[in-house]
Amino acid sequence: MGKGYIIGCNNCIKDEDLNNLWNSKNKINGTYFNIHIGGLMLCFCKEQLEKRYGVYKNYDRKYRLLAGGDPPEEIYKTLGSATNDKKIDKLILENIKNGYEFTENLGDFAYFCEKCNKLFNHFYFQMKKDEQIYTPDYKCKNCKHNMGLVNILFDDDVGLEFENEAIEEDIKIIYNYELFLDNNIVKIKNIDGSKNIICDYCKKDNFSILSFCMVD
């Protein structure tokens, strides 16, 4: 359903720390980021996202959502917010009342805070009404600065690929930043030039991909 990356400081994080990086409860003396790109099993298409916000529709799909069939609607009622942001959830419900509908363009993305020089994972989605498109604006949990959407370019990846992109081909994703590899060092840039990801411990910007996995 998606890709998982751990991006961490080469100076501080040792080989013996690698097995602990996927567990955020473990204390590691070095800055690292768990980044998931793509959809999760119970939220990888708009029908599933709609159910989380009280909208129940049936679409004429050529494939089953899940191999064993989609779970009962009651399951989605227990999942709660997809964004974990009360203000954005409030806007979602208001948009639904005003006739907006989710598109197929959704999934977990990386966001970057230029003020804190840190990466965060958030759920990206689009809602459309006629020619109007709504996308979420996430603020940094540390400094409350507006963050920008990051396009991941690792391993010839060109960002999040949508399973039903042809359905919503008129809607394009606007990335604020690009995250790429330069001699195995993770770099980030935007239209204004290169930006740094800074380690809280050594204060350097020597980051690389420490681990990778496919995520369901």
Query: Which pTM was predicted?
Result: 0.87
Burial 157-172 (b: 16+ CB within 10 A, else e): eebbebebeeebeeee
Return the half-sphere exposure (C-beta side, CA atoms, 13 A cut-off) of residue 123. Answer: 16
What does the pLDDT read at residue 159? 47
User: In whole angstroms, what is the distance from residue 195 CA to residue 202 CA?
Assistant: 17
> Residue 113 forms beta bridges with which residues?
118
For 167-192, write each residue's pLDDT tens digit: 445 677 889 999 999 888 999 999 99
Per-residue pLDDT of the chain (216 residues; tens, 9 = 90+): 688 899 999 999 988 887 777 766 667 889 999 998 887 777 778 888 998 999 988 777 666 666 667 777 788 888 889 999 999 999 999 999 999 999 988 999 999 999 999 999 999 999 999 989 999 999 999 999 999 999 988 865 544 444 444 344 567 788 999 999 988 899 999 999 999 899 999 999 999 999 888 776
Secondary structure (3-state) at 107: strand
Q: What is residue 167's predicted lDDT score, i.e. its pLDDT?
A: 43
CB 34 within 8 A of CB 140: no
- Bridging pattern class, strands 177-182 and 193-195: unpaired
Give Cα 71 distance to the centre of its chain.
23
Q: What's the pLDDT tens digit per position in 11-20?
A: 999 888 877 7
